[in-house]
Amino acid sequence: MELCDLSAFVITQQLRQKKISAVEVTESALKRIEAVDGRPGMLDAGSLTAEDEKKVHAFITVTTERALKQAAEVDRKLAAGEDPGLLAGVPVTIKDIFCVKDTPSTAASKILANFTAPYTATPVERLEKAGAVVLGKVNLDEFTYGSSNESSAFQPSPRNPWNTGRVPGGSSGGSAASVAAGEAPLSLGTDTAGSIRQPASFCGVVGLKPTYGRVSRYGLIAFGSSLDCPGPVARNVSDAALMMQVIAGHDAHDSTTANVPVMDYVKSLDQDIRGLRIGLSPDYFRIAFPNPQTGEYEIQALPAEIETAVRRAAELLAAQGAEIVENVPMPNTKFGIPAYFVISRVEAASNLHRFDGVKYGYRAKGPFQDLTQMYRRTRGEGFGPQPKLRILMGMYVSAAQYSEQYYKRALQVRSMIRRDFEAAFDPQGEHKVDVLLTPTCPTTAFQMGAVYGDSVLMQYADQLTVPANHAGVPGLSIPAGLDQDGLPIGIQLLGPDYREDILFRVGRAYERATENDAWRSEKPQVLR
Amino acid sequence: MTEYEPIIGLETHIQLNTTTKIFCGCKADSWFDPPNTNVCPVCCGLPGVLPVLNKAVVEKAVLLAAAMHAEIRDLSFFDRKNYFYPDLPKGYQISQFDQSLAKGGYLEVPMVQQGYTRRVGIWKLHIEEDAGKTKNEKGRRMIDFNRCGVPLVEMVTAPDLRSPDEAAQYLMRLRQLLRWLGISEADMEKAHLRCDANVSIRPKGADFLNPKTEIKNVNSIDAVRDAIAKEIERQTRETEAGRKIEAWTLEWDEDAGRLKKMRSKETEADYRYFREPDLLPVRLTAEWKAEILKDLPELPLERRQRFMTQYNLPEYDADILTGERKLSDYYEAAVKEFGGDPKKVSNWLMNDLLRMLNDRGITADQLKVTPEFLAQILKLVDGNTINTSTGKALLQKVEESGLAPQVIVEKEGLAKVSDDAVIRAACQEVIAESPKETEAYRGGKVTLLGWFVGQVMKKMRGKADPNLARGILEELLK
Amino acid sequence: MTDQITPEVFSHLVELAALQLDPAEGEYIRRQLNNQLKSIHELEAIPLDNSLAPALHGVPYPAEISAAPRADVWQACPDVAAILSQAPQFEDGYIIVPDIPHTNLE
């Protein structure tokens, strides 16, 4: 096993024990990147080569010099007897939706391709202060709009390390792929409708969407301001907990961060789960969607393998003393997607107003008749089709005459979805569950190019993840086996506000119960 | 011929004098700074930034709302107002749309010369952020973000004003109030107080409203008066010619002294307001509100009324003595110290002290002639220890030296001389020294008496009691 | 009640959004929008109790966990030059853009 394949926990341990150095770990990670990543995403990439199709392409920018300098500083601190931090020497990749000072911060869009951030996002700052080594910025769907990472303006877009003919998921595709390919033990992603959990599920890694407001959004290039959550992607639950320990907590720069103390996520990890009530909901074992012709709701059951993975997990957790509670109703789950369409588009259209070629980023080439022409050409040339789609939908549904009909209703539907969770978790309620156990996605990783053209179907696949974004509750996706094509299956745990600790605990219990499962010794295609 | 009445409403933007901007830690006042130096990621609208509300902005806005007798909401919300403009870096302005900090209220505007008071209703009072500044140069726009994020209170009046003069008076009273409360410098020339006017006309006695035009870019109270007057003329002409008034946006050209029609994309835009998701609602707890309002002073118009009833001052005096808070507080302190006729204090203040303030460019609280010292001088004059002109001179001396009046009087021996013999001697001297005038007086030119008094005062270096001197001279010149 | 985004409505939206699309891209996006509108219409069919409060955020923000407004204290930005260096056109301290359409009539 290479140094870069070690868990974050082990790296920090061995570093403190002076068994390895931070520079060595970083060099190992850089070597892995070179071996499996192929060329990084870029504008004007030209056509894909056969070689491209076998590589991961997680990165947009590898910050080699910077990383080695950070690693050297960690080693210096250790040698000097200074505290290097909780994540000392651990390589981490950052989804390129975060501003990191003096690095290109592109949002995977042409409109920010030339933007060098003048400040650093709070979660990244906290990681760096804790001694983590930032390897670089990884790829994503443009402005996080997508579930396959294919819509990035920086091509080649990331590929699933388990099968490079498949998508890594999105929008945090680069995050999940970089962790799955062993390029780094940790990545910082964002989750707006499942964009951490779904790629984590597709790539066989752990992904957490924290409670909304648990991790600061300062420096996160905004998509859906009331939905976006920065969160960890890791290879195991303990590492995710360690990273959360560092990034969680109130930030004076973000008024929506909660003044709730950060608990010790690591300490409670291995507590047993006896007596914990784990709920299963029929509404999460299917996808409900309106027929495009008739508009009537249709139900599609999930593939058997995925349902089996969840049920098996339930059995294993029951064997450890948890109580399984069946038939927890979450009736408003199916309204999550249309409400999400409206809320996210209204917020996105507004958040993208600032990209106007005036003070940063891309400005189209002149000469211009007037300012309006500059705006239109800049935004027309700078944005890809997905942002344009969202902007225009946002403009439409937020227009004064439709605002009541669409936007206000969507916010009311959000209340209804929230109520489902409150009822399920209510200690005085009927079901009194501590966590819900559900599938993460209705599919495993699909083929590249398969559904990019059809945005509605892609969006409905988020039906199992988006309710947590509406309600603000935390959600954890953990790997739970491989399907018959050898592709990872993910299962999801959903919990009450600020109770990431329970999710970690249950996730850890599942890991212990499946420690020796055969699928855990399988390697992704790029690492074989 | 139909008689028309103008219907005027004013939208004012008030720049608050907090230390920092509304949503970031940059300075609120950068009037003298070079362009684009008072900026940060937040007020420049960089990708990923978030607003953080300034406590002092809420507090000053609440003070204003209370002073305007408005209904203050305990829970108010921020909204995004979306439009494209180069001085608006985020492409939206964070403002308050439907649940603003306060609503309702009024400002009384005394029209002193005309003898009535216009009560102007306030529809809405909300807080928002300012945009930057742009200027034109050789076919391009130069943008300065220094002012982005400066805190503003916007107040929209009901269309209750009925003349350009009323509009001007409203602005003067508002400016006075803002300075009185200490929440804004309210200097129109520095854009601390900005005003847009909405103008329409209708037949006198009608109760409906006609389409209105909006006048922007008026940068002084006089400009507001002139621009509105011109627009009323224009609308009257158009209406009488049978043409309809359209809801144009007009810009006042100060140099040319006329109005121009603007084609602004802004005015056609649907702002697509929605709740600002990056901010929590403004929560005014009972404790916080009480804390803020305990600093609410007696308001200028209330005090003006009280000075007239309590101190029996004429309206003219009361107006001046409640024009500016420090002067007003000074006056009241002096009256209390003096204990005598408040009108006397008023006279001294309005004439000599005001002149002194203007000459030295200071405010009343900066005077070395404190209210106590002024009261002492007045008591000395009242008690005949010194005469009035000595008293006035004493003002200067106290201001220059900072010494108490009594101390200076003793030091310089300024006390009035009432000794008959001493005065008589001086009178006799003057008469002896002025044979020509004596002859003229005895020949019938009795007006010369004043001249003789003056000469005696001169001889006695102003210390004679002039009434006594007059009596003695009359006697001697017979 | 089907709200179809017609080519006229669409081009108005494009103008409002300060965008510029070539005809093929425009038509593709317009069709996508209309497709998505169908699923958004589901919102109208959802039985809603109108007293249900619109939730701006999923998590509630009671006073105890809400961040208080900040103190009115000046904090200078440590690196203004880094911000200004990102401007596409910057001269004499100002950010430069083309002029704004502005007609002076009468």
What is the rounded distance in angstroms from the CA atom of residue A467 to the CA atom of residue A211?
A: 12
Cα B339 to chain centroid, rounded: 29
Q: pTM, whole model, 2 decimals? A: 0.91
Contacting residues for A509 by C-beta, under 8 A, at least 6 apart: A272, A273, A317, A320, A322
Q: Do C97 and B141 touch (CB under 8 A)?
A: yes
Could you give the 3-state DSSP secondary structure of residue B155? strand
In single-letter form, the type of residue at position A259 comes to N
Note which residues in 95-134 of chain B have CB less than 8 A from chain C.
none
DSSP codes joined into one string, B394-422: HHHHHHHH---HHHHHHHHT-PPB--HHH
- Same domain flag for B319 and B376: yes
What is the rounded distance in angstroms from the CA atom of residue A368 to the CA atom of residue A383?
A: 19
Q: Is A195 a catalytic site residue?
A: yes
- Same domain flag for B432 and B327: no
Q: What is the pLDDT of residue B388?
A: 86
What is the rounded distance in angstroms from the CA atom of residue A247 to the CA atom of residue A429?
A: 33
Residue B263's pLDDT band (boundaries 50, 70, 90)? low
How much is the mean pLDDT over chain B? 92
Q: Is residue C14 part of a domain?
A: yes
pLDDT tens for B161-200 read: 999 999 999 999 999 999 999 999 999 988 899 999 999 9
Q: Is A110 a catalytic site residue?
A: no
Could you give the 3-state DSSP secondary structure of residue B292? helix
Identify all chain B residues contacting C67, using CB atoms and an 8 Å cutoff: 52, 280
Structure tokens at A36: 């499996």
Catalytic residue among A95, A110, A137, A334: A95
Catalytic residue among A195, A201, A238, A344: A195
With a cut of 50, which residues of chain A have pLDDT below it? 453-457
Asked if pLDDT for residue B340 goes beyond 70, the answer is yes
Structure tokens at C74: 């000046």
Q: Do B39 and C104 touch (CB under 8 A)?
A: no
ipTM of this model?
0.95
* Last-in-domain residue among B265, B291, B317: B291
User: How far does C41 lie from chain B, in Å, by closest CA?
Assistant: 20
Q: Is A171 a catalytic site residue?
A: yes
Structure tokens at A402: 């439709």
Q: What is the pLDDT of residue A495?
A: 98
Respond yes or no on whether the N-terminal peptide bond of residue A171 is cis (omega within 30° of 0). yes
Identify all chain B residues contacting C15, using CB atoms and an 8 Å cutoff: none
Task: Give B95's strand partners.
Answer: B79
Asked if pLDDT for residue C106 goes beyond 60, the answer is no
Mean pLDDT of B208-236: 93
Asked if pLDDT for residue B136 goes beyond 80, the answer is yes
When divided into structural domains, chain B yields a total of: 3
Q: What angle do CA A97, A98, A99 make, to 5 degrees?
A: 125
Q: Is residue C15 part of a domain?
A: yes
Identify all chain A residues contacting C24, using CB atoms and an 8 Å cutoff: none
Q: Do A218 and B51 touch (CB under 8 A)?
A: no
- Same domain flag for B276 and B325: no
Q: What is the pLDDT of residue B370?
A: 95
What is the rounded distance in angstroms from the CA atom of residue B245 to the CA atom of residue B234?
A: 10
Asked if pLDDT for residue B332 goes beyond 90, the answer is yes
Task: Give B467's strand partners.
Answer: none
Residue range of the domain that includes C8 = 1-45
Structure tokens at A118: 């003048």
Q: What is the CATH number of the domain that holds B473?
A: 1.10.10.410
Could you give the 3-state DSSP secondary structure of residue A263? coil
Q: What is the pLDDT of residue A459?
A: 60
What is the rounded distance in angstroms from the CA atom of residue B416 to the CA atom of residue B418?
A: 6
Number of Cβ pairs < 8 A linking chain B and chain C? 116
Q: What is the CATH number of the domain that holds C27?
A: 1.10.20
Residue B461's pLDDT band (boundaries 50, 70, 90)? confident
What is the rounded distance in angstroms from the CA atom of residue A495 to the CA atom of residue A485?
A: 31
- Same domain flag for B374 and B470: no
Q: What is the pLDDT of residue B264?
A: 54
Evaluate whether B23 touches B53 at the Cβ level (below 8 Å): yes
**Shortest CA distance to A96 belongs to which of A37, A159, A153?**
A153
- Same domain flag for B286 and B307: no
Q: Do C66 and A414 touch (CB under 8 A)?
A: no
Q: What is the pLDDT of residue A457?
A: 46
Q: What is the pLDDT of residue A458?
A: 55
Evaluate whether A524 touches A168 at the Cβ level (below 8 Å): no
Q: Is residue C38 part of a domain?
A: yes
What is the rounded distance in angstroms from the CA atom of residue A76 to the CA atom of residue A131?
A: 11
Q: Do A359 and C10 touch (CB under 8 A)?
A: no
Q: Is residue C64 part of a domain?
A: no
Note which residues in 32-91 of chain C have CB less than 8 A from chain A.
32-33, 35-44, 46, 48, 52-59, 61, 64-67, 70, 79, 82-83, 85-89
- Same domain flag for B270 and B325: no
Asked if pLDDT for residue B20 goes beyond 60, the answer is yes
Of A257, A260, A411, the CB nearest to C56: A411
Q: Is residue C69 part of a domain?
A: no
Note which residues in 162-201 of chain B have CB less than 8 A from chain C.
none
Interface partners of chain A (CB pairs < 8 Å, 3 or more) are B, C
Does the beta carbon of A256 lie under 8 angstroms from any beta carbon of chain B? yes
In single-letter form, the type of residue at position A336 comes to G
Could you give the 3-state DSSP secondary structure of residue A476? strand
Residue range of the domain that includes B429 = 420-477
**Shortest CA distance to A194 belongs to which of A327, A333, A41, A312?**
A333
Identify all chain B residues contacting C97, using CB atoms and an 8 Å cutoff: 86, 140-141, 143
Helices (H) and strands (E) in chain B, counts: 17, 17
What is the rounded distance in angstroms from the CA atom of residue A59 to the CA atom of residue A41?
A: 6
When divided into structural domains, chain C yields a total of: 1
Give the number of residues written for chain C: 106
Q: Do A121 and B143 touch (CB under 8 A)?
A: no
Q: What is the pLDDT of residue C99?
A: 83
Q: Do C80 and B270 touch (CB under 8 A)?
A: no
Give the number of residues written for chain A: 528
pLDDT tens for B57-93 read: 999 999 999 999 999 999 999 999 999 999 999 999 9
- Same domain flag for B107 and B200: yes
Asked if pLDDT for residue B109 goes beyond 90, the answer is yes
Instruction: Locate the chain B residue with the closest alpha carbon to A107.
Output: B47
Asked if pLDDT for residue C104 goes beyond 80, the answer is no
Among A494-503, B8-17, C3-12, C50-59, the range scoring the smallest mean pLDDT is C3-12
Q: What is the pLDDT of residue B228?
A: 96
Q: What angle do CA B235, B154, B61 make, to 5 degrees?
A: 150
Residue B247's pLDDT band (boundaries 50, 70, 90)? confident
Of C56, C61, C71, the CB nearest to B55: C71
Q: Is residue C16 part of a domain?
A: yes
Instruction: Locate the chain A residue with the closest alpha carbon to B47.
Output: A221
pLDDT tens for A460-498 read: 889 999 999 999 999 999 999 999 999 999 999 999 999
pLDDT tens for B110-126 read: 998 899 999 999 999 99
Q: What is the pLDDT of residue A160?
A: 98
Instruction: Locate the chain A residue with the closest alpha carbon to B44.
Output: A359
Instruction: Locate the chain B residue with the closest alpha carbon to C67.
Output: B280
A206-209: strand order across its sheet: A59-62, A133-138, A91-95, A186-191, A229-234, A206-209, A475-482, A488-494, A435-439, A277-279, A323-325
What is the rounded distance in angstroms from the CA atom of residue A288 to the CA atom of residue A460?
A: 8
What is the rounded distance in angstroms from the CA atom of residue A181 to the CA atom of residue A38?
A: 12
Evaluate whether A158 touches A168 at the Cβ level (below 8 Å): yes
C90-91: strand order across its sheet: B133-137, B140-144, C94-98, C90-91
For residue A15, give Cα distances in angstroms to A22, A419, A491: 7, 46, 33
* Last-in-domain residue among B291, B319, B342: B291
- Same domain flag for B50 and B137: yes
Does the beta carbon of A361 lie under 8 angstroms from any beta carbon of chain C? yes
Asked if pLDDT for residue B345 goes beyond 50, the answer is yes
Structure tokens at B260: 């121009």
* Last-in-domain residue among B229, B262, B291: B291
Asked if pLDDT for residue B267 goes beyond 60, the answer is no
pLDDT tens for C30-39 read: 998 998 887 7
- Same domain flag for B101 and B243: yes
Asked if pLDDT for residue B301 goes beyond 70, the answer is yes
Q: What is the pLDDT of residue C101?
A: 67
